[in-house]
Amino acid sequence: MYIFKRVNDIKKHIEALKEKGKTIGFIPTMGALHDGHISLIKETKTDIKVCSIFVNPTQFNDIKDLEKYPRTPSKDIDLLLESKSCDILFMPTVEEIYPLNFKAKDFDFGNIGNIMEGEFRPGHFQGMANVVHRLLEIINPDELIMGQKDFQQVAIVNLMLKQTKSNTKLVMLETKREKDGLAMSSRNIRLNESERTLAPLIYKNLLISKKNALDGLDIRTIESNFIENIEANKEFKVEYVNIVDGTSLNIINNITDTNFLVMCIATWLGNVRLIDNIIIKNQ
């Protein structure tokens, strides 16, 4: 595995591979890698797999969240080497990604950018879309691979790729979970023992909600039941629960109103913020 820290070095390396006809897949991450990240890399189908580790300061609306974000660079390198999944690792500094002449783009994502994560993390999607755009300029991959775990993020990046007329194809891969159903996340290591035992309730209740939706229970009732069931444990504080159209992310009133229905949630568990989602139907 090659490791690059500088933009010019990785650009040169990738350009040479492209000249040889190799296809490039790119998996951006913020590090503190777990098996969810590793399976994204393993499932990538291109000749060359490039992974980046960059904790992007501009997508954190809360400075404390940025400071607390887990950073485990040498463990990450070991995990990538052990898994033999990654060909190139890009670990740039903030200065490499945002040189003095860097000009952020002002994207307009409309409703998709304003609800859910957009509402509760103002500025998050502008920062995220800008860093993905910048990384794509550097790597210029054939495929960009992202996890369903961050469903709204995938919708935003999809829009950004259209707006910038990018040739990169976006591939969304399913959420990887622990055996008890908890979605793998770099933030999970911040849960204490008792919070960790409660955390699987999130997915358990997403599964119950999905079943109830398919059985015809009213959508608003499903959302309020979810909050009630989760918050029966005082360690949880649900931030939002929305059942939305999987493409427009518009709030849906009846299950029959769309063919692509997704339930997205964010909740605090102690002082850790967790997000998850479930596709109720996509046909």
**36 near ligand AMP (CB under 6 A):** yes
Which structure tokens are listed for 231?
């918050």
Residue nearest to ligand AMP (CB): 147
Distance of closest approach, residue 117 Cβ to ligand AMP, in angstroms: 12
* Per-position x/- string for 257-276, each x denoting binding to ligand AMP as judged by CB under 6 A, each - no binding: --------------------
**29 near ligand AMP (CB under 6 A):** yes
- Which residues, 6+ apart, have CB-to-CB distance to 136 below 8 Å? 26, 144, 166, 168
Which structure tokens are listed for 38?
């590793």
Asked if 13 is an active-site residue, the reply is: no
Which structure tokens are listed for 247?
């493409």
* Per-position x/- string for 121-160, each x denoting binding to ligand AMP as judged by CB under 6 A, each - no binding: -------------------------xx-xx----------
Q: Which stretch binds ligand AMP (CB under 6 A): 93-101, 108-116, 180-188, 254-262?
A: 180-188
How many Å apart are CA 108 and CA 126, to the nearest integer?
9
Containing H/E element for 29? strand 24-29
Question: For residues 151 and 255, which CB has a smaller minimum distance to ligand AMP in the complex?
Answer: 151
**190 near ligand AMP (CB under 6 A):** no
Which structure tokens are listed for 98?
């945002």
Q: Which one among 46, 85, 185, 205 touches ligand AMP, defined by CB under 6 A?
A: 185
Q: Specify the 3-state DSSP secondary structure of 160.
A: helix
Q: Which of these, 209, 239, 244, 211, lies nearest to 225 by C-alpha position?
A: 209
Which structure tokens are listed for 40?
């994204």
What are the two backbone dihedrals, phi and then psi, of residue 82, each rounded to the nearest 5 degrees?
-60, -40
Question: For residues 72 and 229, which CB has a smaller minimum distance to ligand AMP in the complex?
Answer: 72
Residues lying near ligand AMP in the complex (CB under 6 A) are found at 29-30, 36-37, 40, 146-147, 149-150, 175-176, 183-186
